[in-house]
Structure formats: structure tokens, C-alpha cells
């Protein structure tokens, strides 16, 4: 542990020095060209005009546009170049080529399941409309013959995951935003190492930014030496790159193609309350068993091949068991490079089609006008809309932004609660005792627009009722936020929060 901590601190120091060097180099360049300032100023103004026109004509979210246009116009010398370095979400030509190749392979193995979709349409046209969007936008078919097991706490998922990992015979794929040595990861790693020694194909992929302060820089090599194939997503090396904003926020574990886990739970001790960081940590996950695991498998392999420049034969990892289970399951992926906010649209689809209620748990509530309108319209239409957010913040600044969105929603009739015992990291929606979503997608701009995410949409599976019951149980341990509390916020603080909300898409 001491050796690991030393390695992490060394890596952190290196990154700080490297970033400082880059910033100093930029300042030095500006100083060196002082005598050419007039030409430099003209060049920057042209870049600013170009950047502004590009932003206005782009099809990105209006709130994201405003958040960039204001600082660009306020600081014309730096605004344009700054946007070109950090703000563009359009992929490069190389990225488009690689993405197209991966998508082509993805589409070739994840086929439209006509019988399942027709069966869903006969049962519910409304459900079929939601599933049709997910399939078309994310190339994610709807499945039957899939068991769904819901976990209301990280501790429950961890125990079951260890049991399933012990049963692995062919392969284990794990993809997580955060890994950190401790009770949880060390127990999992011990199983992975043993399984790899017996010939099981064990692969681990983690996000470099997510593990910046939790793992040493050479951790992938450490795992490789244990017989575990490993790759790091989007290594953080250059602050002057818009790509360092695109993180792999997904959480996927696939075992032999027949068992799959996803949800909000990372592999670190606070997620199972082995340590306390922000009070009691509540998170959730879903385990799939059966046909729908195929989509999780292909999601993992597609990104793995993209990062490693490999070409796996996907069919070798297909499910091998048949499960008789009720309901429909549709795992889906959301990419920042496809110009479609799939996660947000799936959420809004569920909100706008709810007939009785929609219950939401989210760690962050930093939303755009479209989401505010959808939630407010549903509440004004008589739909019981309730949201649970944390009472104890993990990031005070972000929590203030979350609370700044309360008043407009409460005024519209949305009921908001804060989880009193601590921090709630779960990302789940449940509506009308029929629909539910469990996954990695937060209600904030990063999650909805900049990160790689995944989730599972469910219709009439047993887990739907369990998710509703867990929400109601959590509600009993939460305090409702009265609209009067929001209206008591004083003028200066209110002004400050209003300004923060303008720039929320950049945070």
C-alpha cells in the first residue's frame, strides 16, 4: 500500500509539473511575440469570430453554446484559441475513421431482433416506441429471455459479483471508471489472478482520469505481469486537448457472456461502505443473465478493440445459455462522438410518456432547459415526479449547482428529497410500475454529453418493482426540500448561483 501511494504521489507530481510546463510554454510564446502583438491580436480576433460562428452553427446543446460564447466574447484574445483546444466535441478524421470501423463491426454482430421487437409492440405500442428510439440511436436491440437482478447497495452487488467471478470458465471482461486498491478491488483482483492462471481470458480496462489519484501510472503493466490483459482509456498526457474531457465512465463486468453487471458502482471501498467518505454511500446495480448480456459484451469488445487497435472475433464471446424470464431488457451505450445525446433522450422519453409517476435517483442535478421543461411539464400534467439527490456532498461546488436547480422544479410541482444518511451515487429511473433504467448516466452535462456511458432499459421485468420499492425505502430515509428554503436564498448568493448555472456545461 505504501509503495502504491508513493507511486500515485509521484505520478501526480509529474502531471502537475507537466501541466505547469505546458502553461509556462504558452505564456512564454505570448511574451516572445509581444512585438508582433498587433498581428497576434488580429489573428486571435479572427479565431474568436471563427469559433463563435462555428459554435452558433453547430448542433450542440444551446446551453453548451452559451457557456462558451460568453467567455469567448469577454476574452477575445484567449477565447477563440481556448475553445479550439478544449471546446470542440467533433471527432478528428482519424477518430471518425476508427469509430466508423468499430461501429461497422458492432452493427454486424448486434442484429435487430425482429421477433422480440414485434412481441413488445403487440404488448405495448408505447414501450415499443421507446425501444425503437434506443435501437436506432444506439444500435441496441431489445431482448427477452434475460433475468434481471437488482442490487440496492454496493455491498450486495460485490458479494454476488465475487460468487459469479468464481464460476468463470472462459472469459472475464471488466471496464470501470475507477479502480482503487482496498478490500473491494483486492478481493476481485485475487480471483482474476487465479482465473487468469487457469487460462481464463481476463481483461481489465479503466479510465486514466478516473484513476489518476487511485492507481500508479504503471498499473496496467502490473496487471499484465499477473496474466491479466489490461488497457487504459484515454491516457491523460496533454491538457491542450479536447479529448481529455471524453472519459470512459461506464461500469461493465461480463462473465462467460452469460452474466453481466452494470450500474453506478465503481471498484473502490467507499462504494461498499468499507470506508466512509461522505456518510453512508448508496449506490445501485443490475445483473443480467441471458441473451441481453450480448450487448454488454459487444460494448466492451468494441471499445477494447478501439483502444488496443485489435480485432476480436466477437461471435466467440456470445451467450451460451438460454434463460426463460419475463419482460424485456435493452442495454445501450452512449458515446460523445455520435452527435446524439442518447442517455438524455432516453430519460426524457420516459418522463414525457409517464402516465402516473416517474421516480429518479441521481447524485447530480445539473440539467439543461430541455430536461427542466420535461420534468416541469410532467409535474404540471399531474404526474408524480420525485427526485432523490445527496444530502452530504462529494463536491461542495457541484452540490451547490445541483441545489440551484431546485427552485424552478419545485415551483412546477416536482418533489425533491435529499438522502439524509450520506451520499447517493445511484443513477436510476422508474415509471408506472412498468419501466426502469439503471446505469452510469448522471443528470449532468459531462455524463449526458462528454462521457462514454451505458445503461439498461427494462420493461416489465421483476427488477422494475424492486427498483420502485428501493426508491420508496430510500425516500423514507430522506428529507423533502421545501420550496420556501430555495426562495430564502439571498440576492448575492442567488446571483452567484445564476452565473454558475450559465457555465455549468463546462464544469
Strands 285-290 and 146-151: antiparallel
Containing 68, the helix (H) or strand (E) segment is helix 62-74
**Pick from 292, 342, 271, 286: which is nearest to 464 by CA?**
286
Distance CA 477, CA 420 (A): 6
Containing 262, the helix (H) or strand (E) segment is strand 259-263
Q: Grid coordinates standing for 216? A: 500508479
Euclidean distance between the first and the last CA atom of the chain, given in angstroms as a whole number: 32
Q: Grid coordinates standing for 428? A: 436510476
**Options 65, 195, 249, 468, the catalytic residue:** 249
**Options 126, 201, 340, 432, the catalytic residue:** 432
**Options 88, 195, 391, 425, the catalytic residue:** 425
- Alpha-carbon separation of residue 414 from 201, 352, 370, 443, 445 (angstroms): 48, 14, 15, 15, 21
Distance CA 223, CA 204 (A): 8
Q: What is the Cα Rg of the chain in Å?
A: 23
- Cell 461542495 locates to 396
Distance CA 193, CA 378 (A): 50
Is-catalytic flag, 425? yes
**Can you tell me whether residue 263 is helix, strand or coil?**
strand
**Options 88, 427, 460, 468, the catalytic residue:** 427
**Options 88, 251, 282, 405, the catalytic residue:** 251
Q: List b or e across 343-361, with b for residues whose CB sees 16 or more CB atoms inside 10 angstroms.
A: bbbbbbbbbbbbeebbbbb
Q: Grid coordinates standing for 376? A: 416541469
Residues paired with residue 385 on neighbouring β-strands, in sequence order: 358
CB 233 within 8 A of CB 147: no
**Options 207, 208, 248, 256, the catalytic residue:** 256
Residues paired with residue 359 on neighbouring β-strands, in sequence order: 386, 430
Strands 280-282 and 422-424: parallel
Residues paired with residue 415 on neighbouring β-strands, in sequence order: 386
CB 157 within 8 A of CB 263: yes
Which stretches of 391-482 are assigned E, i.e. beta strand? 415-419, 422-424, 428-431, 435-439, 453-459, 478-480
Is-catalytic flag, 256? yes
**Can you tell me whether residue 424 is helix, strand or coil?**
strand
How many C-beta atoms surround the C-beta of residue 362 within 10 A?
Answer: 25
Is-catalytic flag, 432? yes
Q: How many CA atoms lie within 13 A of 297 on its CB side?
A: 26
| Residues taking part in catalysis | 249, 251, 256, 425, 427, 432
Amino acid at each position: 500500500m505504501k509503495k502504491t501511494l508513493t507511486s500515485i504521489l509521484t505520478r501526480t507530481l509529474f502531471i502537475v509539473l507537466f501541466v505547469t510546463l505546458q502553461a509556462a510554454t504558452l505564456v512564454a510564446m505570448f511574451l516572445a511575440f509581444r512585438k508582433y502583438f498587433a498581428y497576434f491580436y488580429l489573428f486571435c480576433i479572427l479565431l474568436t469570430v471563427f469559433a463563435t460562428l462555428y459554435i452558433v452553427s453547430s448542433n450542440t446543446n444551446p446551453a453548451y453554446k452559451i457557456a462558451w460564447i460568453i467567455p469567448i466574447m469577454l476574452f477575445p484574445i484567449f477565447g477563440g484559441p481556448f475553445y479550439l483546444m478544449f471546446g470542440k466535441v467533433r471527432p478528428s478524421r482519424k477518430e471518425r475513421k476508427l469509430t466508423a470501423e468499430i461501429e461497422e463491426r458492432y452493427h454486424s454482430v448486434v442484429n435487430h431482433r425482429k421477433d422480440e421487437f414485434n412481441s413488445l409492440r403487440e404488448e405495448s405500442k408505447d414501450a415499443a416506441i421507446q425501444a425503437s428510439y434506443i435501437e436506432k440511436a444506439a444500435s441496441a436491440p431489445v431482448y427477452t429471455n434475460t433475468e434481471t437482478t437488482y442490487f440496492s447497495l454496493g455491498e450486495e452487488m460485490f458479494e454476488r459479483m465475487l460468487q459469479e467471478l468464481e464460476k468463470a470458465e472462459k472469459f472475464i471482461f471488466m471496464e470501470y471508471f475507477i479502480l482503487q486498491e482496498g478490500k473491494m478491488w483486492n478481493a476481485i483482483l485475487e480471483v482474476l489472478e487465479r482465473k487468469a492462471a487457469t487460462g481464463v481470458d481476463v481483461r481489465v480496462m479503466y479510465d486514466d482520469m478516473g484513476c489518476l489519484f487511485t492507481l500508479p501510472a504503471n498499473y496496467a503493466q502490473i496487471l499484465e505481469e499477473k496474466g491479466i490483459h489490461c488497457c487504459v482509456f484515454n491516457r491523460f498526457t496533454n491538457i491542450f486537448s479536447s479529448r481529455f474531457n471524453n472519459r470512459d465512465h461506464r461500469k461493465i463486468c461480463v462473465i462467460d457472456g452469460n452474466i453481466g453487471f452494470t450500474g453506478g458502482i465503481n471498484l473502490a471501498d467507499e462504494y461498499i461502505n468499507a470506508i466512509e467518505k461522505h456518510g453512508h454511500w448508496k449506490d445501485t446495480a443490475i445483473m443480467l443473465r441471458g441473451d441481453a448480456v450480448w450487448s454488454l459484451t459487444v460494448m466492451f469488445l468494441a471499445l477494447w478493440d478501439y483502444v488496443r487497435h485489435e480485432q476480436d472475433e466477437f461471435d466467440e464471446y456470445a451467450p451460451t445459455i438460454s434463460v426463460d424470464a419475463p419482460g424485456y431488457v435493452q442495454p445501450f451505450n452512449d458515446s460523445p462522438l455520435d452527435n446524439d445525446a442518447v442517455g438524455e433522450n432516453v430519460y426524457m422519453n420516459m418522463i414525457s410518456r409517464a402516465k402516473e409517476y416517474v421516480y429518479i435517483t441521481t447524485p447530480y442535478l445539473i440539467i439543461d432547459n430541455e430536461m427542466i421543461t420535461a420534468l416541469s411539464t410532467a409535474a404540471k400534467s399531474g404526474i408524480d415526479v420525485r427526485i432523490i439527490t445527496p444530502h452530504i456532498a462529494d463536491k461542495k461546488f457541484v452540490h451547490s449547482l445541483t441545489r440551484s436547480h431546485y427552485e424552478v422544479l419545485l415551483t412546477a410541482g416536482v418533489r425533491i428529497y435529499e438522502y439524509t444518511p450520506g451520499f447517493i451515487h445511484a443513477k436510476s429511473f422508474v415509471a408506472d410500475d412498468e419501466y426502469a433504467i439503471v446505469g452510469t448516466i448522471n443528470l449532468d452535462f459531462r455524463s449526458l454529453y462528454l462521457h462514454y456511458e451505458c445503461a439498461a432499459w427494462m420493461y416489465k421485468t421483476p427488477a422494475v418493482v424492486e427498483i420502485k420499492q428501493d426508491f420508496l425505502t430510500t425516500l423514507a430515509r430522506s428529507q423533502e426540500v421545501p420550496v420556501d428554503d430555495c426562495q430564502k436564498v439571498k440576492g448575492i448568493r442567488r446571483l452567484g448561483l445564476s452565473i454558475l448555472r450559465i457555465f455549468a456545461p463546462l464544469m
